[in-house]
């Protein structure tokens, strides 16, 4: 056995082993480093003090050195009184913060001006080589203010690196200690983002190359795994592909799943000592492994061509194929994020990957949360699809002493074909991600909070009582986002009848609202050859459209207006033959239904079909989904429609933010729109002049 027999009945898993599949799983990564011990990323504790991130060009060391755009950092470790400085790295700190606290962060832009871009892009100032390479920072998944100084992705931070200028072109007036050669009154390489033709006032004010952010998390903010990355339109793909991204953990997941609580009498308790091999981000009842995956492409090297393709790998906390250790029977909490730019992951634990791939016998995952939102009940599965930007938090259980298996992204073998069909036209590649080694020694056994034994089937632990499998799958979250309806309630809401006063139980505000932008909406994701080749667009309508046109992103255009307090239903329609990854800022949404080209059977993307799928006249299948939990990123299969419900109930989110495809190449080529959330009551009370009567 590869894993403990606790995984005994996978009625809900989405991947199915093919008995006659003998094709090996081909590792798409050709770089050779492997076998390093797994280590969690460094942790920056926002509760302890301020954080500085320096966006700059640096070196990535894998099997050789590569150029990258990286974050250097200054931050505080847990219980530290002195800040720590980290040189620019492909594995920047994962920020750890408590609900109700703030992230005090300063972003410095020291990126070079020249931007290597693949393909054609709509021409904007950000992708012209003659001007600053702007950047900014997005807190992906946070339900916080989108205003200036917080999670504002329209803000541009200019580069501190200036092109080399001809001597004497820009006078330093008055001469002073502002440049290395200020004695002459001229500069050959003037720092500070000053360019030819600029008016230069002697650097009295300085350039806007630093951005100070105070991101305040409400006490009601959900706990879980988030991430940060740049979000300036047309250069976000290039910057993330080159290395600029890192994780965020909002603490207190144990308040949702109390069996993770380390306090006496709260969580499950191992009957033998477990010593984590790496520093833990927070204290829980079991070991946490924090896993940040990035698709590495060596994007800054211009010398690749069809005869010499770029390296194509998924790095794991800045390394390749590290070795994860687990004790026999040990339960570990894996927090996994796809923080790369463009590529999908399809996670599975497998054996014999180079000869005849098989799932680790009776092995798999227990999903506790997706996109930092807890599910209504742990989900057993043998594969998990992670589009770019998505996250999953799950449990694994160690197997027989001495066993070894591989954590893979399986998109090429028949083993996980039930997941592959939703993305396979886009990316048929598979990757070895990590080697999982079960240590020699006795089984780790567990007790429930009341002291009773939990029995993994087939292990050396005491028999009798509740099985560990039954215990885990019977857990339900004790806490979900306090600001949102329960997923089951939201799924049951109907359209508001005329005159309904309690609009919080309606999916749309009803006919008494005159603004057509607040009604049900239909959003079409398309690609086009106009105005330039290979652009991607979104267009919203108030009713289904036979021939939707597309709109390229315009930073200054408001595409959608919503009212605080409304609950809306969107049909997100992928009209293309490739998948897209829908993401909405500041908000979480509930997926309620999907229409697909093929019948998925009883499950779809780890969702259980509610009843059965209905065959439509156009030979597609419409499948209602059982409520599972909120999401902020969702795969849109080729030629599909995904129905979501969005509660605009969080009072902290008023302002302008975006929704887009999180395949960043598509976003940069136009597949994004602006959404403005307003509070109509507040607007009405403050829009007039003078006192209200």
What are the phi and psi torsion angles at 413 (to 5°)? -90, 165
By residue count, the chain amounts to: 693
Q: How many CB atoms lie under 10 A from the CB of residue 524?
A: 23
The answer to whether 456 and 438 are in contact (CB under 8 A) is no
* DSSP element (H, E) containing 647: strand 640-647
Over the stretch 169-209, which tens digit does the pLDDT of each residue have? 444 433 333 333 333 334 444 444 444 445 544 444 444 67
- 450's CB contacts (< 8 A; 6+ apart) are none
Structure tokens, 13: 């898993």
**Same-fold call for 43-157+213-438 versus 487-685:** yes
Neighbours of 544 (CB within 10 A): 12
Q: How far apart are CA 602 and CA 1, in angstroms?
A: 27
In 3D space, the residue among 534, 552, 554, 644 whose CA is nearest the CA of residue 594 turns out to be: 644
CB 339 within 8 A of CB 246: yes
Asked if 120 and 555 count as a contact pair (C-beta separation under 8 A), the reply is: no
Q: Would you say 415 and 376 are in contact if contact means Cβ atoms under 8 Å apart?
A: no
pTM to 2 decimal places: 0.89
User: 653 in helix, strand or coil?
Assistant: helix
No. of helices (H) and no. of strands (E), the chain: 6, 40
Cis amide bond preceding 380, omega within 30: no
- Cα separation of 581 and 672, whole Å? 11
User: How would you label 673-688 residue by residue, b for 16+ Cβ within 10 Å and e otherwise?
Assistant: bbbebbeeeeeeeeee
pLDDT at residue number 16: 37
Which residue, among 256, 248, 153, has the nearest Cα to 478 in the 3D structure? 256
pLDDT tens-digit series, residues 215-260: 999 998 999 999 999 999 989 999 999 999 999 999 999 999 999 9
The single residue listed with the structure tokens 């150029």 is 67
Q: Report yes or no: 322 and 39 within 8 Å, Cβ to Cβ.
A: yes
Alpha helices in 403-467 (DSSP H): 417-420
**CB 145, CB 679: distance < 8 Å:** no
Q: Is 149 helix (H, G, I), strand (E, B) or coil?
A: coil
Q: Which of 78, 73, 100 is nearest to 247 (CA)?
A: 73
Dihedral angle, C-alpha 115, 118, 123, 129, nearest 10 °: 20
What pLDDT does residue 362 have?
62
Residue tagged 């393909």 (tokens): 119
CA–CA separation, 439 and 20 (whole Å): 31
Neighbours of 601 (CB within 10 A): 14
The conformation of residue 467, written as its DSSP 8-state character, comes to B
What does 583-631 look like in DSSP terms, one character per residue?
A: EESS--EEEEEEEESS--TTEETTEEBSS-PEEPTTS-EEEEB----EE
Number of Cβ within 10 Å of residue 265's Cβ equals 9
Q: Which regions of the chain are under pLDDT 70?
A: 1-22, 114-132, 161-208, 362-363, 425-427, 456-460, 463-464, 509-519, 529-533, 682-693
User: Could you give the count of Cα atoms lying within 13 Å of 660 in the half-sphere of its Cβ?
Assistant: 32
**What CA–CA distance (Å, rounded) separates 284 from 247?**
18
pLDDT the model gives residue 181 = 37
Rounded CA separation 233/673 (Å): 11
| Superfamily per CATH, domain 487-685 | Cupredoxins -  blue copper proteins (2.60.40.420)
CA distance 139 to 228: 5
CB 489 within 8 A of CB 504: no
| Per-residue burial over 492-504, b = 16 or more CB atoms within 10 Å of its CB, e = otherwise | ebeebeeeeeebe
CA-to-CA separations, 150 to 157, 213, 216, 217, in angstroms, rounded: 14, 6, 8, 10
Q: What is the mean pLDDT of the chain?
A: 83
pLDDT attached to residue 690: 36
Tell me the helix, strand and coil percentages in the chain, rounded to 5: 10, 35, 55
Nearest to 460 by CA among 41, 86, 1: 1
Q: In whole angstroms, give the CA distance from residue 538 to residue 595.
A: 19
Closest CA to 52 of 108, 131, 130, 2: 108
Angle among Cα 321, 283, 463 to the nearest 5 degrees reads: 80
Homologous superfamily of 43-157+213-438 in CATH? Cupredoxins -  blue copper proteins (2.60.40.420)
Pairing mode of beta strands 567-574, 521-528: parallel
Write down the pLDDT at residue 482. Answer: 77
**What pairing do the DSSP bridges indicate for beta strands 43-45 and 94-97?**
parallel
Joined together, the tokens standing for residue 345 give 């992951």
Comparing C-alpha atoms, which of 635, 598, 628, 627 is closest to residue 613? 598
Nearest Cα to 22, choosing from 355, 349, 420, 405?
Answer: 355
Q: Determine how β-strand 521-528 pairs with β-strand 446-447.
A: unpaired
Other CB atoms within a 10 A radius of the CB of residue 309 amount to 11
- The sign of the torsion formed by the CA atoms of 664, 670, 674, 675 equals negative
Rounded to whole angstroms, how far apart are CA atoms 537 and 366?
Answer: 36
- So where are the chain's domains? 43-157+213-438, 487-685
């Amino acid at each position: 056995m590869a894993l403990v027999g606790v995984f005994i009945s996978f009625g809900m898993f989405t991947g199915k082993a093919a008995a006659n599949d003998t094709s090996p799983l081909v590792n798409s990564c050709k770089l050779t480093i492997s076998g390093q011990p797994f280590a969690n990323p460094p942790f920056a504790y926002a509760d302890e003090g301020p954080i500085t991130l320096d966006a700059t060009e640096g070196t990535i060391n894998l099997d050789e050195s590569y150029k990258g755009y990286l974050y250097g950092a200054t931050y505080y470790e847990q219980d530290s009184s002195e800040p720590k400085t980290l040189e620019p790295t492909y594995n920047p700190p994962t920020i750890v913060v408590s609900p109700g606290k703030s992230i005090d962060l300063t972003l410095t832009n020291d990126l070079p001006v020249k931007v290597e871009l693949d393909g054609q892009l709509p021409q904007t100032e950000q992708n012209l080589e003659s001007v600053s390479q702007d950047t900014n920072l997005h807190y992906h998944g946070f339900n916080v203010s989108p205003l200036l100084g917080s999670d504002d992705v329209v803000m541009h931070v200019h580069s501190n690196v200036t092109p080399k200028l001809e001597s004497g072109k820009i006078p330093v007036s008055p001469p002073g200690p502002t440049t290395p050669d200020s004695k002459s009154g001229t500069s050959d390489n003037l720092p500070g983002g000053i360019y030819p033709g600029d008016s230069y006032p002697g650097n009295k004010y300085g350039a806007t190359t630093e951005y100070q952010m105070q991101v305040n998390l409400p006490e009601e903010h959900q706990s879980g795994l988030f991430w940060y990355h740049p979000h300036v339109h047309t250069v976000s793909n290039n910057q993330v592909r080159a290395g600029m991204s890192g994780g965020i953990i909002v603490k207190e997941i144990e308040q949702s799943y109390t069996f993770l609580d380390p306090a006496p009498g709260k969580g499950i308790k191992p009957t033998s000592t477990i010593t984590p091999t790496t520093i833990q981000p927070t204290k829980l009842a079991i070991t946490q492994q924090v896993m940040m995956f990035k698709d590495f492409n060596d994007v800054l090297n211009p010398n690749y061509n069809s005869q010499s393709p770029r390296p194509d790998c998924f790095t794991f906390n800045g390394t390749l194929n590290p070795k994860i250790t687990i004790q026999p029977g040990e339960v570990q909490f894996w927090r996994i994020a796809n923080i790369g730019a463009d590529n999908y992951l399809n996670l599975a634990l497998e054996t014999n990957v180079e000869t005849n791939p098989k799932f680790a016998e009776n092995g798999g995952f227990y999903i506790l949360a997706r996109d930092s939102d807890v599910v209504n009940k742990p989900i057993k599965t043998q594969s998990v699809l992670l589009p770019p930007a998505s996250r999953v938090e799950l449990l694994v259980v160690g197997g027989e002493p001495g066993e070894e298996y591989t954590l893979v992204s399986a998109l090429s073998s028949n083993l996980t074909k039930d997941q592959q069909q939703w993305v396979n036209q886009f990316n048929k590649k598979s990757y070895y991600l990590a080697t999982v080694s079960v240590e020699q020694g006795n089984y780790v056994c567990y007790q429930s909070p009341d002291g009773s034994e939990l029995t993994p089937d087939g292990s050396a632990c005491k028999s009798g009582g509740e099985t560990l499998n039954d215990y885990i799958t019977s857990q339900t979250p004790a806490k979900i986002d306090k600001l949102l309806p329960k997923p089951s309630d939201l799924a049951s809401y109907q359209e508001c009848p005329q005159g309904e006063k309690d609009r919080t139980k309606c999916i749309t505000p009803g006919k008494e609202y005159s603004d057509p932008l607040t009604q049900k909406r239909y959003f079409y994701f398309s690609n086009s050859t106009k105005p330039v080749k290979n652009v991607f667009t979104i267009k919203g309508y108030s009713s289904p459209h036979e021939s939707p046109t597309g709109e390229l992103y315009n930073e200054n255009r408001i595409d959608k207006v919503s009212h605080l307090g409304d609950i809306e239903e969107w049909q997100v329609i992928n009209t293309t033959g490739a998948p897209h990854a829908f993401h909405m800022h500041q908000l979480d949404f509930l997926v309620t239904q999907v229409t697909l080209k093929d019948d998925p059977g009883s499950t779809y993307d780890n969702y259980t079909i509610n009843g059965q799928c209905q065959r439509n006249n156009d030979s597609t299948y419409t499948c209602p989904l059982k409520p599972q939990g909120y999401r902020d990123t969702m795969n849109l299969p080729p030629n599909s429609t995904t129905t979501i419900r969005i509660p605009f109930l969080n009072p902290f989110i008023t302002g302008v933010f975006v929704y887009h495809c999180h395949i960043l190449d598509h976003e940069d080529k136009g597949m994004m729109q602006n959404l403005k959330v307003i509070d109509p009551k507040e607007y009405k009370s403050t829009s007039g002049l003078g006192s209200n009567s």
